[in-house]
Amino acid sequence: MSVWCEAAWIRGRGVVSGVRVEVDESGIVTRLELGAERKASDLPVSGVAFPAASNAHSHAFHRVLRGRTHDMGVGSFWTWREQMYRAAGALSPALYEQLATAVFAEMVVTGWTSVAEFHYVHHRPDGTPYGSTGNGGSPGSARSEASAGSTDPYGSADGSGSAASNGADGPHAMELALARAAVNARIRLTLLDTCYLAGGIGQELSPEQLRFGDPDVHAWLSRLESLREAISREFSPDQVTVGAALHSVRGVPADVLPVIAEKLPPEIPLHIHLSEQPAENEACLQATGLTPTALLRRSGLLTRRLSAVHATHLTEQDIAMLGAAHATVVMCPTTEADLADGIGPAAALRDAGARIALGTDQHAVVDPWLEMRALEHGERLRSGQRGWFPPEALHEAASDAGARSQGRRLPGFERGKYCDLMAVDPGSLRTIGSQPDQLALSATAQDVRTVVVGGRLAARQGIHATLGDPARLLAAAITDVDAAATGDTAAKGALQK
């Protein structure tokens, strides 16, 4: 296979005309040619191509809240959270597969080709595990035909999309549903199975949180091991891998953190929500005498493999510790603005030695270009100065740092990378007149012409190559989630009619 780009941004070289990459069957670049003429056998990509974006933090089901939480008057993260719990309570494996397929398709058409899904909706709403006595199923029973018999490692066997109607209810039903959704949407998934043991520091899980939790840390570690085995049986690691996450120091008691540091397999990525809210810091200080970052360091978890999500409210000592560990900090600027969380110290963290990656979190916006721009704009608003993250650094955050956070091969044009690309129109209403290497400061998802995953066409002009218009998928999925949340079966599927 080969892909020919009219123009492409090559790290260290800038924008180059006539770029051809040859790609093997695994979607990995084997040869890069500059100044090349297009061949008839090439997949043509017009506009300016860049390495695709790597989404380092997502909660797929939060997408149903977009545009629905803004009429609360004076509110906060904590008031928004109550609506999030109601959405989580409505999900079944089939419904989550339907919704996640639509959300992942939206990511793909905007330029994200891999995603770290911070997943904690593990069990039934009452907390009983899927596949427990009386509900049948086996670890392999949820396998989708979409992942079997396909010659295309990034798509479904028939291109039709979902196995959402298969009613799978066996072990790991929710996790396997997300994996099938990712395969159908042609996005690379790092499924971060989340440890969620407490409703707050010193608090039991609330009724809304029961489906998130496990009996104890050993039960979570055992379930994580079983999930890794189940995923490895069913999916290529180029499609789906399993990592780990700790919800937060609010959700994982301090006395079990050293157990996780000792027992968690060292080869898998580890993520955590860190210092997203001042209330989290205050509660941690009161209970342990340490900030959340210092608690992680004491527990042996503050290492290079850690990705700290948000890290909005840090002390100077916290910044120094994260930098010294060369940890990744995942900023989600549009979510942090939407939830009034604050502006994280991105430049200070980078200068201290931390890597900065980007994520969409609750999907108030699914647009890597706006996340890049918001990262720079946050520093400008904080400091009154421009130029904290030049375009090359923004692409590093959006692409390479996010892939490293997932433990994945990098996207791009050079040999050994995944041929995962996003190409934008340099002559749109938004981008016309822009220097090609500064499109990160002017383009949006509306300007994405073409998305390539593993050397194969994944989307053109906002339309998914196999699933069609993501807006149609989202309309159907959100209608069905609403119906499940309210018990209104008459409303279910109304928008499909």
Tens of pLDDT, residues 70-81: 765 555 654 566
**In the predicted model, is pLDDT for residue 164 greater than 80?**
no
From the options 3.60.20.10, 2.60.120.10, 3.20.20.140, 3.40.30.10, give the CATH code of 52-130+168-415.
3.20.20.140
When pLDDT is cut at 50, 70 and 90, the band that residue 163 belongs to is very low
Q: What is the pLDDT of residue 80?
A: 62
Strands 53-58, 463-464: pairing is: unpaired
Q: What is the pLDDT of residue 488?
A: 57
What's the chain's average pLDDT? 90
Residue 420 to residues 105, 238, 453: CA-CA distances in angstroms? 15, 12, 4
Alpha-helical (H) ranges within 186-291 are 217-234, 257-263, 278-288
In whole angstroms, what is the distance from residue 24 CA to residue 141 CA?
A: 32
Question: Which among 326, 315, 372, 330 has a CA at the least distance from the CA of 353?
Answer: 326
Model pLDDT for residues 28-86, shown as the tens digit of each residue: 999 999 999 999 999 999 999 999 999 999 999 999 989 877 765 555 654 566 777 77
Q: What is the pLDDT of residue 143?
A: 29
**In the predicted model, is pLDDT for residue 432 greater than 90?**
yes
Q: What is the pLDDT of residue 153?
A: 36
Q: What is the pLDDT of residue 159?
A: 35
Residue 409 to residues 110, 248, 333, 388, 403: CA-CA distances in angstroms? 20, 27, 24, 27, 7
Q: What is the pLDDT of residue 134?
A: 42
Q: What is the pLDDT of residue 138?
A: 32
When pLDDT is cut at 50, 70 and 90, the band that residue 142 belongs to is very low
Boundaries of every domain in the chain: 52-130+168-415
- How much is the average pLDDT of 134-156? 35
Question: Which among 309, 314, 279, 341 has a CA at the least distance from the CA of 406?
Answer: 309
Question: Which among 311, 342, 341, 305 has a CA at the least distance from the CA of 326?
Answer: 305
DSSP state of 145: G
Model pLDDT for residues 222-261, shown as the tens digit of each residue: 999 999 999 999 999 999 999 999 999 999 999 999 999 9
Specify the pTM: 0.90
